[in-house]
Amino acid sequence: MAREKRPDVEMQFRTLLWPAGIRRTENPAAAPYWVKFDKAFLTLKEQLRKMQVTDPVITWNLDWDSPHRASLAENPMEDAGVVIYFKWKNKDRFVPCDKWNSIIGNMRACTVFLQSVHLMEMSRVNAMFIDQMLDNVFNVEQFKLAVPSKQTTSKAFYNSDRDWLEILEINDPLPTPEEIQNAYNDLARRYHPDVRADDGSMAVINRARQVAMGFVKRVTDRYGSVENARTALDTQDDNEEIQAAS
């Protein structure tokens, strides 16, 4: 009797969402994996399918829609970290890697780790021991993390260098320093560890304020004031220049 084929895995993609509490690699090395991006991605997808995971979300600093995504993934970049979030054995999991300086290296490392976990599960050397060990493999609950595929009030998964407007909950693309500080103060009252459990949100909020203030300084250095920059938004060329300052 033919074995029933497992359904394909539908991947979602998001900007790198590094989990708070997991230390980053300071000096990523060149990856030892010599494999093309398309093949590496299909291998990862097939491994997730074999493990019958659901809701997989791969987060990285890669534009999936770019025609040059393979080249971008295969070459060194400033932050090539990869984190894969998914549900497995009825629990939310994540697998992070930023040991290598290319996305292809970190994606391949995540795949190798998942293959190892799957082999341990299939071996059944000691069913009780294996089940207990696998139950703790990157269990999101143990790290008190939110899951990026679900709506959450946590700030810990944002990339504050890119998403500071959303983190600070500011609607104006050109806020004044006073507006930034007011937004920060409001969030600090809501997310401070003295008020709620520390999930890493406050560290991201602090960084977002720093990035926001730096952006406003660059804009005001060029245009003299935020008000002048807002006026300049009326022209497309100036709009592009302002966005480039972020």
Q: Indicate whether 136 and 206 sit together in one domain.
A: no
Last residue of a domain, one of 89, 112, 143: 143
Nearest Cα to Cα of residue 75 among 104, 99, 106, 112: 104
Domain range holding 77?
Answer: 12-143
Q: Indicate whether 177 and 88 sit together in one domain.
A: no
User: What pLDDT, on a 0 to 100 scale, did the predictor assign at position 152?
Assistant: 47
Mean pLDDT for 1-21 is 68
| Number of structural domains the chain divides into | 2
Q: Indicate whether 38 and 118 sit together in one domain.
A: yes
Q: Indicate whether 36 and 101 sit together in one domain.
A: yes
Quick one: 194 exposed, middle or buried, by C-beta within 10 A (0-12, 13-18, 19+)?
exposed
User: What pLDDT, on a 0 to 100 scale, did the predictor assign at position 227?
Assistant: 83
Q: Indicate whether 136 and 226 sit together in one domain.
A: no
* Average pLDDT for the chain: 78
Q: Indicate whether 27 and 109 sit together in one domain.
A: yes
pLDDT (tens digit per residue) in 62-111: 888 888 889 989 999 888 999 998 888 888 888 999 999 999 999 999 99
Mean pLDDT for 228-235 is 73
Reported as a pLDDT band with limits 50, 70 and 90, residue 186 is very high
Mean pLDDT for 146-150 is 48
pLDDT (tens digit per residue) in 126-135: 666 666 766 6
Residue 157 pLDDT more than 60?
Answer: no
Last residue of a domain, one of 93, 113, 143: 143
Contact between 187 and 205 (Cβ < 8 Å): yes
| Residues 6+ away with beta carbon under 8 Å from 30 | 76, 100, 101, 102, 105
pLDDT (tens digit per residue) in 191-205: 887 877 655 678 778
User: What pLDDT, on a 0 to 100 scale, did the predictor assign at position 170?
Assistant: 87
Q: Indicate whether 170 and 228 sit together in one domain.
A: yes
In sequence order, what are the beta bridge partners of 14?
A: 59
Q: Indicate whether 177 and 220 sit together in one domain.
A: yes
CATH assignment of the domain containing 230: 1.10.287
Reported as a pLDDT band with limits 50, 70 and 90, residue 150 is very low
- Which of 117-131, 146-160, 175-189 is predicted with the least confidence, judged by mean pLDDT? 146-160
User: What span, in angstroms and rounded, lies between the C-alpha atoms of 54 and 92?
Assistant: 9
Q: Indicate whether 25 and 70 sit together in one domain.
A: yes
Determine the 3-state secondary structure of 192 from DSSP: coil
Residue 3 pLDDT more than 50?
Answer: no
